């Protein structure tokens, strides 16, 4: 039901008008939430979004006589099906960008048998976020998109990076978007464990003779979030030869325990995984990481590569890194090849492999979206991957 003002009936009309002039981010979020609520007669969840009264008064000058004795103002109130609660929360969180969620509370009643609870929005979010992702992984909604990695020499697709993605009819979020929702370090590791499992499941979609590049923070092994037994089981389910998987070790903002890192790499090698260091150049300690990992590939991060086609200094820097890696018998993937100018420069560089929007955006299926007439085996053969894998 829409009121005469064009707002859904479940919005606090007078507070919304005050917010609309003082806090446009929150007003826009509230309007979205109100329209987004689903009414459902089955298993339901009654949710009310509340704004701290002092914050509302200070921000908007809003006063509502009937609530002067309360510590909060109700902004929007409705009922959603419990099986859509997580998606609803994700949609909320996306639209609360620019809003201090510390000023928001949730009043929730999960069913007629449960008492009403009032908790900070951030706690309510944490309560449901990882459990929701786990459920979505089981349903197959948490999947990966595939972005091609191209052989510069053969000008054909060599492999694909698997980029975690949550897709729902209301949302389409990549891994970076998901990580923006999580601030607790332990929860971030749990999320990385889920994304690792999701990527392993999706390896079964790789075309024959192509490699799959999968991001991994080794801390999920060090901290017991996952283990080798689970990894081996998922690979067996995917029916993928381990030699077709490239483990992209993510550079860390905090230093790794290099003893643990070396042991981790040894386990990868024992399983015939290929090793890459991802986003090299993004954090400090790079040479130490290279010495500990001794990777087959180094992926130069986007910010390092971007602009090299037009900036002679940056181009010289990138080419120097390429030569350095080649002297270690490590192959280079240049990320961030986005334009025709980038391609014109990169195809004359000494990097073995290239990645970026110029060759294809992340796609839900690993289609040969760049060179439709590319031969099947040339790029894999260039790296020494047997065509019978």
Mean pLDDT of 287-312: 88
Residue ranges and CATH numbers for the domains of the chain are 13-133 (no CATH), 140-383 (3.20.20.450)
pLDDT higher than 90, residue 107: no
Helix, strand, coil shares of the chain, percent, nearest 5, are: 45, 25, 35
**Confidence label for 255 from pLDDT (cuts 50, 70 and 90):** confident
Q: Dmax over Cα atoms in the chain, in whole Å?
A: 76
Least-confidence region, from 51-65, 143-157, 188-202, 331-345: 51-65
Helix pair 24-36, 85-95: axis angle to 10 deg: 160
Mean pLDDT of 127-138: 68
Mean pLDDT of 214-219: 92
> What is the per-residue DSSP string for 46-104?
EEEEEEEHHHHHHHH----GGGTT-SEEEEEEEEEEGGGHHHHHHHHHHHTTTS-GGGE
Asked if 279 and 248 touch (Cβ cutoff 8 Å), the reply is no
pLDDT higher than 70, residue 320: yes
Asked if 95 and 43 touch (Cβ cutoff 8 Å), the reply is no
Please give the pLDDT value at position 322.
94
Range with top average pLDDT, 248-257, 351-360, 370-379 = 351-360
Say which residue, 43 or 270, is predicted with more confidence: 270
Asked if 50 and 104 touch (Cβ cutoff 8 Å), the reply is yes
Asked if 214 and 249 touch (Cβ cutoff 8 Å), the reply is no
pLDDT higher than 50, residue 354: yes
The pLDDT tens digits of the residues spanning 156-201 come to 899 999 987 766 555 566 666 666 666 667 777 878 888 898 899 8
* Side-chain-facing half-sphere of 221: CA atoms under 13 Å: 20
Gap between the Cα atoms of 366 and 189, Å rounded: 27
Report the relative pairing of strands 172-174 and 211-216 from DSSP bridges: unpaired
Tokens of 152: 């510069």
**Confidence label for 36 from pLDDT (cuts 50, 70 and 90):** very low
**Confidence label for 56 from pLDDT (cuts 50, 70 and 90):** low
Q: What does each C-alpha distance from 307 to 188, 317, 323, 341 come to in angstroms?
A: 32, 11, 19, 10
Tokens of 359: 């060759």
Asked if 249 and 280 touch (Cβ cutoff 8 Å), the reply is no
**CA angle 233–238–241, rounded 5-degree value:** 90
Gap between the Cα atoms of 225 and 387, Å rounded: 35
Task: Work out the burial of residue 300: count CB atoms within 10 Å of its CB; fewer than 13 is exposed, 13-18 middle, 19 or more buried.
Answer: buried
What is the average pLDDT score of the chain? 76
For the chain, how many residues are written?
Answer: 389
pLDDT higher than 70, residue 28: no
Least-confidence region, from 143-152, 166-175, 271-280, 309-318: 166-175
Least-confidence region, from 17-26, 99-108, 187-196: 17-26
| pTM for this model (two decimals) | 0.68
Mean pLDDT of 239-263: 86
Please give the pLDDT value at position 377.
39
Least-confidence region, from 77-91, 189-203, 270-284: 77-91
């Amino acid at each position: 039901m829409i009121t005469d003002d064009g707002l859904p009936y479940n919005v606090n009309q007078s507070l919304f008008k005050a917010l609309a002039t003082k806090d446009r981010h929150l007003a826009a979020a509230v309007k979205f939430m109100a329209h987004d609520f689903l009414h459902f007669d089955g298993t339901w969840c009654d949710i009310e979004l509340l704004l701290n009264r002092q914050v509302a008064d200070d921000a908007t000058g809003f006063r509502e006589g009937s609530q002067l004795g309360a510590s909060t103002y109700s902004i929007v109130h409705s009922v959603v099906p419990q099986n859509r609660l997580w998606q609803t929360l994700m949609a909320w969180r996306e639209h609360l960008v620019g809003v201090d969620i510390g000023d928001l509370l949730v009043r929730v009643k999960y069913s007629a048998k449960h008492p009403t609870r009032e908790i900070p929005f951030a706690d309510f979010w944490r309560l449901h976020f990882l459990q929701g992702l786990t459920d979505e992984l089981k349903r197959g909604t948490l999947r990966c998109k595939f972005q091609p990695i191209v052989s510069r020499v053969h000008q054909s697709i060599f492999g694909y990076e698997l980029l975690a993605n949550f897709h729902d009819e209301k949302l389409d979020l990549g891994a970076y978007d998901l990580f923006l929702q999580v601030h607790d370090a332990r929860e971030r590791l749990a999320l990385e464990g889920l994304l690792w499992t999701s990527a392993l499941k999706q390896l079964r979609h790789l075309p024959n003779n192509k490699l799959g590049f999968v991001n991994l923070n080794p801390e999920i092994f060090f901290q017991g979030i996952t283990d080798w037994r689970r990894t081996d089981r998922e690979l067996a389910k995917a029916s993928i030869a381990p030699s077709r998987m490239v483990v992209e070790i993510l550079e860390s903002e905090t230093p790794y325990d290099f003893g643990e890192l070396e042991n981790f790499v040894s386990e990868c090698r024992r399983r015939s995984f290929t090793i890459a260091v991802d986003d090299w150049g993004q954090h400090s300690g790079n040479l130490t990481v290279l010495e500990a990992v001794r990777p087959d590939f180094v992926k130069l991060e986007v910010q390092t590569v971007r602009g090299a086609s037009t900036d002679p200094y940056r181009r010289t820097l990138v080419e120097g890194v390429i030569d350095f890696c080649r002297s270690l018998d490590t192959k280079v993937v240049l990320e961030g090849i986005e334009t025709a100018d980038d391609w014109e420069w990169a195809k004359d560089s000494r990097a073995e492999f290239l990645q970026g929007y110029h060759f294809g955006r992340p796609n839900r299926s690993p289609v040969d979206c760049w060179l439709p007439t590319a031969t099947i085996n040339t790029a894999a053969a260039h790296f020494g991957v047997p065509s019978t894998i």
